[in-house]
Structure 1
Amino acid sequence: MASTPSSAANNTSANHINHRNYLPELTILTSLFFMWGFLTCLNDILIPHLQNVFELNYFQSMLVQFTFFLAYFLISLPSGKLVEKVGYKKGIVIGLITAGVGTLIFYPAAGLRSYPVFLIAFFILASGITLLQVAANPYVTILGKPETASSRLNLTQAFNSLGTTVAPYFGSLLILSTAVKTAEELSKMSPAEVEAYKAAEAAAVQYPYLGLAAVLFIIAAIFAVIKLPQIEASTVQSGDGNGNYDEIHDSAWGYKHLLLGAIGIFVYVGAEVAIGSFLVKYFVSLDSSMIEMEAGKMVSFYWGGAMVGRFIGSAVQRKIKPGTVLGFNAIMASLLVLISMLSDGKVAMWSILLVGLFNSIMFPTIFSLAIRGLGKHTGQASGILCMAIVGGAVIPVIQGLIADSIGIHHAFILPVLCYLFIAYYGFKGSVPSFEKAELAVEVD
C-alpha cells in the first residue's frame, strides 16, 4: 500500500516517538502504577475487616471486589473516549482527582458504619483508577520501540507490584490491628466503652484513607503542571513498524487476538483478585493459632512475588518471546494452586503465595500482546482490555459462592481453570491473524 503524505508524516512522528529517550517521563509515570496498586491491594485487608464488622459471609464480602471491578466494565470505554478527546495527561489528572474523591468517602462510610456507603466509595475510587489505567498503560507502550513494549510495561508494572506488596503490611498494622468484637462482647460493655470502641474501629479506616486522598490530590497537582509528550492517536505506530496493520479492520473489535486477550485479562484479574481476597481467611483456616493481622502481613509475600517476577520478566522477555513466557507462567501458577488445594499447613500456605511470582508478568504481557499491531485503534483496544478487568468483580463472587458451598480450601479450583486459558493464549491465541497470514505466505 502506497504511503500518503499524511501517513508518511505520521510514520515520521511515530519513528520520533520510538527513538527518543523517555526515561524521565516513564519514571514519573511509575508513581501512578505504584498508587493504583497500593489502593487496589488495600481491598484484600479491608475485606476481612468489613466481613467481621458487618458479619458478612464470603459471597457478601466479595461484593467489595464486585463493586470495585464493576467500575472497570462500566467506565473503561467512556474513559477511552475521554482520553482520545482530552489527551493522556489530562486523563491522568482527572483520574487522580476522581480516585481522591473516592478515598474521601471512606471517612463518612466508616463513621456511619454503612456497608452500602463503603461500596459507593469503592466504585468511585475504582472509576478513577480505571481512567488512570486506560491512559497510562498504552502511554507506556507508546513511549519507546514497539519490540520492547512488553518489557517496558512489565518494568513499570513492577512498581505497581511494589504498591501491592507494601499495602497489605501497611493495612494490617492500621486496619486489622483493631480486633472486631462480637455482638455478645459488645453487650457486656458499657455505653461509653461501646462508643469508644466504635470510634477506634472507624478511625482505623478513616485516617489511612484521608492520608491517601491527600497523596492523590498532590500527585494530580504535580501532573497538572509538569510537561509530558503530547501523542495523538493518529501518530501511534503499528506493531510491525510500518503503520499498515491498523488498516486491516475498521475497529479494534475486528482483531481476534485482541478479543482473546480481553478474555485473558478477564480471567487473569479474576484469578489474581480472588486468590488475594481470600488469603487472610484462608491462612487462618489453615492455622487456627494465626491472628488476622499476622495473616494480613503474609499477603505481602503474594504481591511481593509479583513484584520480583516483573523485574525478572522484564529482562527475560528481551530474550524469550513474551507469549512463551506467559504460557509457562500460567502452567506453573495452575500447578501451585492445585498443590495448595491438595495439601495443608505450611505447604498449602507457601504454594499459594508462590502463585504471585508467576502472576507477575501476566497482565502487562497479555495487554501488550493484545494491542500489538492495532495502530490507530490502540486507544479503543485499551478501553476494551481495561473493561475486561471486570473479571475481578465476577470471578471472586463466584468463588465466594463456591466457598460458602464446599469450603474455602477447594474453592480455588476456579483460578486453576483461569490459568489454563491464559496458558492457551500465551502459546497460541496471542498470535495476530496478520502474522499467521504472513507465516502461511512464507511457507508457501
Structure 2
Amino acid sequence: MDKNNGLLAKDGVSFLIPFVLITSCFALWGFANDITGPMVKAFSKIFRMSVTEGALVQVAFYLGYFVMAFPAALFIQRYSFKAGVLTGLTLYTAGALMFIPAQAVGMYYPFLLAYFIMTCGLSFLETSCNPYIYCMGSEDTATQRLNLAQAFNPMGALAGMFVAMQYVQARMSPMDSAARAELSDTQFDMVKNHDLEVLIQPYIFIGAVVILLLVLIRLMKMPKAGDTRSKKSLRTALGELVKIKNYREGVIAQFFYVGVQVMCWTFIIQYGTRVFMDEGMDERGAEILSQKYNILAMVFFTFSRFICTWFLKYLQPGRLLSILAVCGAVAVCGAILFTDRNGVYCLVAVSACMSLMFPTIYGIALRGLGDNVKFGGAGLIMSILGGSVFPPLQAALIDSGISFCGLPSTNISFIIPLICFVVIATYGHRAYVRHNITHDYNS
C-alpha cells in the first residue's frame, strides 16, 4: 500500500485529529439511540398506554432519520462535512432541550416532537460523519475504518442503557401498570409528573455535552478529506445510484438491519419482563433485570465490534456479514422457541452477531460510487427508517396476545427479526460473489 495512504491518511495528509472528533459524534448518537429503547416501556407506564402506543417513540425517533437524510446530503454537497456536523449537533441539542417544555406540558406528543427534532440532528450527523470517515484514507481500508469509528458507537450506547436503568427506571415510581390503572386522575397526575421529571434529566445533561462538542468542532480547523463541492444535481445522482444493484440491495439490507437492531434492543425489555415475572418477580424488578441483560447484550456488541474489525483483515466483508447474519437468525430462533431464561440468553447473543452489520453494509454499498458517495450515504441513512417501521409491527404482535404451540405472543413476535436476518444474510452472500467472483457491482 502507498505509504501516503492508509487507515487514517490520504495523499500524505493525516486525519487523526478529525477522526477523533468525528468519532466522538458516533458515541453521542449511540447514547441517544440506546437510552430511547427503554423509554418505550417507560412512556407506556407513565401515560398508561399499550406497547403499540409506546412504540410511537421509535416511530418518531427513526422518522427523523428518514425525513432529513437527503436534505442533509444536499446541504453537505453545497457546503461541507463540517457544516453538516455542526448543523446536526445544533438540532441534536434543540431536540434534547425540548424535553423541558414537553415535561411542563405533561402530554405524550410533545415528547414525540422532541425526539423527531433530535433525530433530524442525528440524521445530519450520520449523513455527514459516515462518508467523512469513509474518505479519511484509502478506499481499500474504508470498511475497516468505518468499523473502527463505529466501535465507539456502542460505548455511547452502553452509557445510554446504563443511564436509562440507573437514573430513569430505578428512580421512577415503583407502581406497576396495574396499580397505575386504578389511580384517580389527581393521583395519576402526581405520579406522572414525578416520573417525567426523572425521565428528562438525562436529556438535559446530554444537551449540555453536545453543546461543548459543538463549540470544540466549530473552533477546530478540519481538513477537507474529499470534501469538495459538486454541482451534480440530486436527480442526476439518484439516476446513477439506482442503476447500481450492489447499492440498491445495500439500502434494502440496511433497512432490515436497523429494524432488527431496534426490535432486539427494544423488546428484550418486554421479553425479559414476561420471563422474570413468570418466575415470580414483580414488574419493576423484572424491568430493571431485563435492562441489565440489555446492557450485557451491548457489552457483547462492543467487544464483538472490535473482534470483527480484526477479522476483516482475513475475511471479505460480505462473507463475514453473511456468516454473522446466519448466526443471528439461529439465536433469534432460540428466542422464539425458549420460554425461559434461555430465550433471554439468545437475545443477548444476537447482539454479538449484529455488531459488524451497520458499518459493513454501509461500506459494501458505497463501493465504486465515486462522487456520488454523499448522496449514496444519504440513501443508506434514510434506510434507518427500518427502525421506525418494524418495531410497531412487532409491538402489535405482542399486544395481540396471539399464541402458537404454547409460545406466548412476545416469543412469536420475534419472527419479524428472523426474517430481517435472512435478508441480511442474502445480501452478504451476494456482495461476496460480486466482489470476489464476478467483480461486477451491478450483477
Normalized against structure 1, the TM-score is what? 0.87
CA distance in 2, matches of 1:355, 1:397: 20
Report what 1:202 is aligned to. Answer: 196
| 8 Å CA contact 1:255, 1:432 repeated in 2 | no
The answer to whether the 8 Å contact 1:233/1:379 transfers is no
Instruction: Identify the match of residue 207 of structure 2 among 174, 193, 213.
Output: 213
Asked whether 1:117 is paired with 2:110, we answer: yes
Alignment pair present for 1:270 and 2:272? no
Q: How far apart, CA to CA, are the structure 1 residues paired with 2:198 and 2:153? A: 24
Give the Cα–Cα distance (whole angstroms) in 1 for the partners of residues 441 and 107 of structure 2. 58
Q: Name 1:425's counterpart in structure 2.
A: 427
How far apart in 1 are the matches of 2:382 and 2:221? 29
In structure 2, list runs of 5 or more residues that go unmatched.
Answer: 231-235, 403-408
Which whole-Å CA distance do the structure 2 matches of 1:249 and 1:65 have between them?
Answer: 28
User: Residue 18 and residue 150 in structure 1: after superposition, are their counterparts in 2 closer, same or farther (change >3 A)?
Assistant: farther
Q: Deviations over 1:117-171 (max 9, x none)?
A: 1110110011000000000001111101111111111111110011112211111
| TM-score (normalised: structure 2) | 0.88
2-structure distance, mates of 1:438, 1:255: 10
Gaps of 5+ in 1: 1-11, 237-246
- Asked if 1:160 corresponds to 2:160, the answer is no
User: Does residue 287 of structure 1 match 2:287?
Assistant: no
AA in 2 matched with 1:418: C
1:325 is displaced (CA, Å) by 0.5
How many residues are treated as equivalent by the alignment? 417
Shift of 1:429: 4.1
User: Is 1:107 aligned with 2:100?
Assistant: yes
CA distance in 2, matches of 1:183, 1:329: 40
> Does the residue aligned with 2:75 lie in a helix, a strand or coil?
helix
Query: Which of 61, 66, 87 matches 1:73?
Result: 66
- More moved, 25-34 vs 15-24: 15-24
- The counterpart of 1:169, out of the listed 146, 162, 172, is 162
Q: Which amino acid aligns with 1:368?
A: G
Decide which moves more: 310-319 or 20-29.
20-29
The code of the aligned residue for 1:317 comes to: L
- 1:300-339 Cα deviation digits (max 9, x unpaired): 1122222111111111101110111100000000000101
1:256/1:432 contact within 8 Å kept = no
Does the 8 Å contact 2:434/2:441 carry over to 1? Answer: no
Corresponding position: 1:95 with 2:95: no
The answer to whether structure 1 residue 260 and structure 2 residue 262 are counterparts is no
Out of 373-382 and 338-347, give the one that drifted further: 338-347
Q: Offset of 1:437 from its aligned partner?
A: 5.7
Q: State the percentage of identical aligned residues.
A: 26
Residue 62 of structure 2 aligns with an amino acid whose one-letter code is: F
1:361 aligned to 2:352? no
RMSD between superposed Cα atoms in Å = 2.8
Aligned pair in 2 of structure 1 residues 185, 389: CA closer, same or farther (>3 Å)? Answer: closer
State the shift of 1:235 in Å: 9.0
Distance in 1 separating the partners of 2:323 and 2:132: 27
CA offset digits 1:333-387 (Å, max 9, x no partner):
0000101111122211111111001100000000000001111010110011101
Where does residue 318 of structure 1 map in the other structure?
313
CA distance in 1, matches of 2:40, 2:237: 45
**Residues 156, 189 of structure 1: alpha-carbon distance in 2 compared, 3 angstrom cutoff:** same
Shift, 1:34, TM fit:
0.3
Deviation string for 1:98-121 (max 9, x for gaps)?
010000111222232211111101
Following the alignment from structure 2 to structure 1, what is the Cα–Cα distance between the partners of residues 381 and 441?
30
